[in-house]
Structure 1
Amino acid sequence: MPAPPLNREFPPIFDGHEDFITQIRRPRRGDSQLAAVLTGDNHRDLLARSEDGHVDLPRAMEGGLGGCFTSIFLTNERAEMAPVDYAMQEIADLYEVADRSDGRWRICRTAGEVRAAWEADAFANVIMFEGADPISRSFKELRVFYEAGLRVLAPTWSRSTIFAHGVAFRGRLPETGLTEAGFELVEQCNRLGIILDVSHINPAGFWDMIKASQTPIIATHSSVKAISAHVRNLDDDQIRAIAGQGGTIGINFANGFLDPSMAMDSDPSLETVVAHFAHIVDLVGDEHVSFGTDFDGATIPTVVKDAAGLPVVARALKAKGYGDVAMERICNGNFLRVLESVCG
C-alpha cells in the first residue's frame, strides 16, 4: 500500500535530528557492523510501514513529518570501517531509498527544495553529520560531502575528535574547547554554507563556536537544562546565545533529556514535553525553538511512540495557546530560516 499524503492538520514538521539511516543497517545479534555493511543486509525498508523504530515514509506522512536533518553517524569509534567509508555508505543508502521512492523520498539542499518536496507529498532529507569523524585535517572530504548534500555538521558526538570534545555520557572527556583544527572547521563550514550544530559539544567548545561562527548556529537535538539537568541539555545562557545569533533549538524527545529525573527508563508526560518548548518560548521567543526528536536514536515517551504520534504534540502546543504564526515557526519555519540563511 502506498504511503498516504502528508498530513496537513498542522504545518509540516521539519525535525532537527533523526537516526533512521544508521539504524537500517544495524547488525543482527552476533553480526559485526562490517558484515552488515558489506552484505547490504538492510533490516528496515524506509518506504514501507513497519513496527520497528520510529520512522518510515507511511508513518511520517501520517504524522505530518515532512522531513528532517538526516543524521550520518559512526555508531562506535571502534567500528571496523573507516569513518569516511562508513559515511559514504550511509549517504549511498539514503540515495538508494530516494531512487526507488517515485519522488516521495528526496535529498534536499535548500529550504526551497524542502518546500517543493512538501508540495509533492514527499519526505525531505537534509544530510547532517553527527560528529565530524569522516573529515580529516586537510578538509578535502568536507567539500566532497558538501557536493553530496551535506548541509549540517556537528564537530563531535559525545566523544573527542580532532576538532572538539563532546559531553561524556559516562566517564570523562577533556573540558577544553575547540582545537586549532576546530576553529578552522568553523571557518570552512561558514565559507561553504554548512550549518554548525552544537548538540553534543562540551560547554567550552559551545562558547568557542558561538564566538567563532559568522553564521547562525543551531542545536539540532537538545532540551532544556532548567527542566532536566542532563549533561546534554542547554542552560539558559546557552539558549540565549543561540537565539542571539538567529539560531534555533530542536527539542530532543529522549526520555532522560525531558524528564526531571534524567532517567532514560522514565516515561515523560505530554505536559513535560510541551514544557521544554514553552521554556524556550518564554525565554527567547517562538523564533528559536523547533522539533529535534532524535527518532531512531533514543527511547521516547509512549505518548508519542513514533512519527505517526507527532500530531499529539502539535495539538498540545496549539492548546497551549500558540497561534498560527508560532506553530509555523516551531514546526518548520525556524529551521528553514537558518537553512535558507546559511545554505540558500
Structure 2
Amino acid sequence: MPFDTTPPVFDGHNDVLLKLYNAGGLEAVDSFLTGREGAIDAISAKAGGFGGGFFAVYVPSPVDREMKFDQMTQATYDMPLPDPIGWADAIPVVMAQAAILFELEKRGALKICRKVQDIRACLSTGKMAAIFHIEGAEGIDPDFHTLEVLYQAGLRSLGPVWSRSTIFGHGVPFRYPSTGDTGPGLTEAGKRLVRACNEMGIMIDLSHLNEAGFWDVAKLSDAPLVATHSNAYAICPHSRNLTDKQLAAIRESDGMVGLNFAVAFLRDDGRMVPDVPLEQMLRHLDHLIEHLGEDRVGLGSDYDGAVVPPDLTTCAGLPKLRQAMAQHGYDAALIAKLCHENWLRVLGKIWKK
C-alpha cells in the first residue's frame, strides 16, 4: 500500500500563528494561502497530507533566538527561563493571534473544530482542521473570565505554562542533561485551573510542565493525561522529555503523547543539530508504543517552532515519515492511529460538551 498523502496527519502542536503574528499579523494571512517560508501553509499541507492540528497561541518573551539555538548545540546547556509575563501584557498578544486564526477560517484556509465530528468531517473532505490551543496561560486571569470568553470563541486546549512560570505553575527550563524535576509544580490557582478545564472539557497539555506539575495534574484531573509534543527521556535525557514513570501514568489515564519533531528532544545527545535520520524518530515511537500502547501515541511536530530533521522541514515532507513507518514494520492500521486516529480518540474522551 503506498503511503503518500494518506492517512492524513492531525498534529499535536504547531506555532504558525506566532510566525504569522511576527510577520505582520492579519496582513500575513495571504502567505498562508499562497505559500510562505515556514513549515505549514495551505500548499505544503496539500502536498504532504497535513490534515490539521493544534494551532498554538503563544506569547513570546524578548529572547535572542539565535543565541538560544547556538547554546543548545553544545554538549550540555542550561538555558535560564525568561521572566514571567503579566496578564495585561499577554492578553493583547493572545487576542491578536486568535484573530489570525479566525481570519484563516474566514478566508477558507481551515475550520476551527470544537467537536471530534468537526475534525472527522475536515479530514474526510480535505479541509484543514484546527484546534484553538493556548501554550502558556499568561492570558488567563485568576478569576477565569478570560477562560470562559475564549472557550466560547472556540478554545479547546490549554497548556498552563510554556516553561517560564505563570500564576498557575512552573515549567521546565531547556536543560540537557536533566530530568524534569526542576522546581515546584502547580500553584493553588493552577489547581483551580485544572478543575475548571475538566469541568469545561478543555484539554490540559502537560508538555512544558515540570515533573511536580505533571504529578499535580495527574492527582487532580479526571481527564486523560496528554502531552502534545514530548518525547522519551529514556532515549534523550532532556528536561522536556517524559520518564517511563510518567508514561505509565499517561497510559493508566488512557491519555496520549504526540512525538515532538524538535531535534534537541530526539537526539541521544540532546543537541539542536538537525542531522537526525527518521530512524531516530522511529526509536522514540517504538519506545512510546511499548510503554503507552498503540492507541496512545501520535504526532506533535512543533512545526514553525523548532529545528526539525531535514526530511521533514515542512509538512510537505510527511509522506517520507509515513513511508518510513511502513518500512519499519508498522501496518496500515497502526499508521492511521499514529497519524490521526489516536488524537480523535483521546479528544472524544475529553471534550464533554
Fold shared, TM-score > 0.5 on shorter chain: yes
- Please state if 1:242 is matched with 2:250: yes
Contact 2:224 2:350 (8 Å CA) reproduced: yes
CA-based RMSD? 2.1
Residues 23-44 of structure 1: CA deviation (Å, up to 9, x unaligned)? 01215xxxxxxxx56xx55386
Of 109, 116, 119, 1:114 maps to 119
Partners of 1:173 and 1:24 lie apart in 2 by 34
Partners of 1:211 and 1:173 lie apart in 2 by 17
Alignment partner, residue 46 of structure 2: 61
Residues 176-209 of structure 1: CA deviation (Å, up to 9, x unaligned)? 1111111100000000000111001010000110
- Please state if 1:128 is matched with 2:137: no
Letter in 1 for 2:127: A
- CA-CA distance at 1:107 after TM superposition: 0.7
Alignment partner, residue 75 of structure 1: 60
Of 112, 127, 144, 1:139 maps to 144
Partners of 1:107 and 1:200 lie apart in 2 by 24
- Please state if 1:45 is matched with 2:49: no
Secondary structure of the residue aligned to 2:32 is: coil
- Please state if 1:220 is matched with 2:228: yes
- CA-CA distance at 1:278 after TM superposition: 0.8
Partners of 2:225 and 2:85 lie apart in 1 by 29
Q: How does 1:155-304 map to 2 (within 5 A)?
A: 155-169=160-174, 175-304=183-312
Secondary structure of the residue aligned to 1:129 is: strand
Q: How does 1:98-113 map to 2 (within 5 A)?
A: 98-101=105-108, 104-113=109-118
Contact 1:25 1:43 (8 Å CA) reproduced: no
Letter in 2 for 1:46: F
Residues 270-295 of structure 1: CA deviation (Å, up to 9, x unaligned)? 10011111111122211111000000
Partners of 2:27 and 2:153 lie apart in 1 by 23
Contact 1:164 1:177 (8 Å CA) reproduced: yes
- CA-CA distance at 1:9 after TM superposition: 4.2
Ranges in structure 1 where 5+ consecutive residues have no aligned partner: 1-6, 28-35
Partners of 1:211 and 1:231 lie apart in 2 by 21
Contact 2:136 2:162 (8 Å CA) reproduced: yes
**Structure with the higher fraction of residues in helix conformation:** 2
Secondary structure of the residue aligned to 1:125 is: strand
Alignment partner, residue 32 of structure 1: none
Partners of 1:188 and 1:322 lie apart in 2 by 39
Partners of 1:41 and 1:10 lie apart in 2 by 32
TM-score between the two structures when normalised by the length of structure 2: 0.87
Secondary structure of the residue aligned to 2:271 is: coil
Partners of 2:310 and 2:175 lie apart in 1 by 26
- CA-CA distance at 1:263 after TM superposition: 0.7
Alignment partner, residue 96 of structure 1: 103
Identity of aligned residues (%): 38
Partners of 1:79 and 1:143 lie apart in 2 by 19
Contact 1:47 1:56 (8 Å CA) reproduced: yes
Alignment partner, residue 69 of structure 2: none
Ranges in structure 2 where 5+ consecutive residues have no aligned partner: 62-83
Secondary structure of the residue aligned to 1:128 is: strand
Partners of 1:43 and 1:255 lie apart in 2 by 28
Of 18, 21, 31, 1:22 maps to 18
- RCO higher in structure (CA 8 A, sep ≥6): 2
Alignment partner, residue 77 of structure 2: none
